[in-house]
Amino acid sequence: MQTVNRYGIAALYAALIVLGGCATSPLGRTQLVFFPDSEMNRMGVLAFQDIRARTPLEEDPVIRSYVQCVAAAMLQRPGGNAGVSTWEVRVFRQDQTNAFALPGRKIGVYTGMLKVTENQDQLAAVIGHEIAHVQARHANERVSTGYLAQSGSQLIAAMAGGSAQTRSNVMAMLGVGTQVGILLPFGRAQESEADLIGLDLMAKAGFDPWQSIRLWQNMGANTGSKPPEFLSTHPASETRIRQLRQRMPEAIKLYEQARAAGHRPACD
């Protein structure tokens, strides 16, 4: 009887993977996503609140206005995400070369990133890359993968014969794990995908897509012996630049269309 239960639960678990987690990214890649957007938004908001509690905000109004201007142009582009008024955009006063966007419409840029981005177009490339992660549901994909890798056996054991309290404890543990997981690094395939989606997003907003290549050249020149956190799991600079160059003709068309339609950001 125990054998039947064990195999039955394993089969059920496999079915959940197949039936409940299939999705396709904006570039056509098959994804494993288990969580509804409402749950991802909740986790994103909690993660953002935690970051805000631990990290000082930039008080310089000029710096804040500059970042807000670039973010607004990106979010108000054609086909954008309902405008900047529905997003919370914050500048964190910390000398790390990093930025992020989270489900729940949260964007954070660290002041260290502003030392590497030479102009509004390069900052737009960074913000576009981060928005692309949200648009492509990369956080959901990452949390879902971690859910399987770390919790599958415990979930099966609890559901196979554990008490109600045991099952409750397992589910509580999974909730904590997913909230932490939303802030873990993305894989390189996801990073490459965000590069290309982000390139299109900045072009649609009227930012010069060629500056994305200049940005990654700057990143490579400023890494020294220790890569910045923003690049820790990203593809090598040469690989990323090659991929961006291959995508550039399409991005230039989008850029020219945006400029012709009057999308000409002026944040510098």
Active site residues: 130
For helices 210-222 and 237-260, the axis angle rounded to 10 degrees is 150
Residue 23 — φ and ψ, nearest 5°?
Answer: -150, 170
Residue 106, beta-bridge partner list: 88, 102
DSSP string, 52-73: HHHSPBP--HHHHHHHHHHHHH
Distance CA 10, CA 90 (A): 44
Strand pairing of 106-110 and 88-92? parallel
**C-alpha torsion sign, points 30, 36, 39, 41:** positive
11's tokens: 């089969």
